[in-house]
Amino acid sequence: AAPAAPKPLPSYVAWKDPAAMIVHTSGTLETRRSAFGTSIITPSEQLYIRNNLPAPDASIVADRDGWEIMVEGVKAPRKLTVRELKTMGLETVTMVLQCSGNGRGLFPNKPSGTPWQVGAAGCVVFSGVPVRAVVEALGGVAGGAVYMTGTGGEKLPEGVDPKSVMVERSVPLAAMADALLAWEMNGAAMPLAHGGPLRLIVPGYTGVNNVKYIKRLAFTVEQSDAKIQKTGYRITPPDQKADESQPSVWEMGVKSWINSPSGEQGPLAAGPMQVKGVAFGGIHAVKSVEVSVDGGKTWQAARFVGPDMGRYAWRQFVLPVRLAAGTHTLMSRATDAQGNVQPEGRVDNVGGYNNTSWRDHALQVTVA
């Protein structure tokens, strides 16, 4: 089928690369599979966007260093400006930022929500102060807190219960170990669209847990009672209603997919070619990846390309193959450092979250 006329970039992300982006809605933009290059880092202009609420006004980045965050649930709770945070420590992490629903469009039962294919993910460099350093400076975590809760700073629509719309997420306290309050992405001031002036970064956790324009960080005994935490982003079995007993969408699992050939440019020329893609471990480092060009019957070890950027980054992989004329089913399967293998299937759930299935990510290519 002829592709539909592309939607223009929304004005708040007019600086994105239009050729690289699929615009689903004004708050959901996906990176085109064919746009993923071999650089480990996804250029900011090509990184996906997901906003649950309308993005805040650019006035919030007019005075970046003056942005304030309230830190609660520590012995000495207080407000801190970004200016003060910058004096408290500095760390940098290269990591996969991936929407919980990435791959939702590949579920055979088509759950409702943005039908992301593979491009609600990227690998980016975040820099900021370790949350640990901030907590230490404020006397440590207080009173039996077991969650770290971040609150987004967007203006909420009027006339609705704030709890029903606000972006506020809780993650287990253990996630604090590698978490950052970040003001920089890919070496530049954090773009407003990606959470500037200040964003909570929780490496190894899905996108939603990385709260943008963060205005409050709290160490809490309970999870947030905001809807997005209580019933949103849960692994809700099909035919059930979401509730707090179901697992929250937190840590990412081992995953990989092929980006090239993308299948987007029509039939390929028969003969030798380099099959290329990305693999990551999620909460653990990725160890290896295999590729199949016969629909999963046989697998060959692929080779990682470029440097290892750490536990939370993805690795680019390549496998030289030779394809004859015909139709071929290409797939990849990663293994993490703990020996967890990317699964063939997925856990079906109402929200279409956490699709790591290698079979769902299979690519059909035609060779002429």
Query: Is the four-CA dihedral 61, 63, 64, 67 of positive or negative sign?
Result: negative
3-state secondary structure of 241: coil
Nearer to ligand MSS, 164 or 274 (CB): 164
Confirm if 346 and 107 have CB atoms less than 8 A apart. Answer: yes
- Closest approach of Cβ 110 to ligand MSS, in Å? 18
Residue 80, amino acid:
L
Nearer to ligand MSS, 204 or 207 (CB): 207
- Closest approach of Cβ 48 to ligand MSS, in Å? 5
Q: Which residues contact 160 (CB under 8 A, 6 or more apart)?
A: none
Nearer to ligand MSS, 210 or 340 (CB): 210
- Closest approach of Cβ 288 to ligand MSS, in Å? 27
- Closest approach of Cβ 10 to ligand MSS, in Å? 12
Alpha-carbon span 151 to 174, nearest angstrom: 18
**Alpha-carbon distance values, 195 to 51, 55, 63, 190, 211 (Å):** 10, 9, 14, 7, 7
Nearer to ligand MSS, 46 or 292 (CB): 46
- Closest approach of Cβ 28 to ligand MSS, in Å? 9
**What's the first-to-final CA gap in the chain, in angstroms?**
19
Counting Cβ atoms within 10 Å, is residue 110 exposed (0-12), middle (13-18) or buried (19+)?
A: exposed
Interface contacts to ligand MSS, rule CB under 6 A: 47-53, 97, 99-101, 152, 154, 167, 194-195, 206-208, 210-213
Nearer to ligand MSS, 160 or 305 (CB): 160
Query: What's the full length of the chain, in residues?
Result: 368
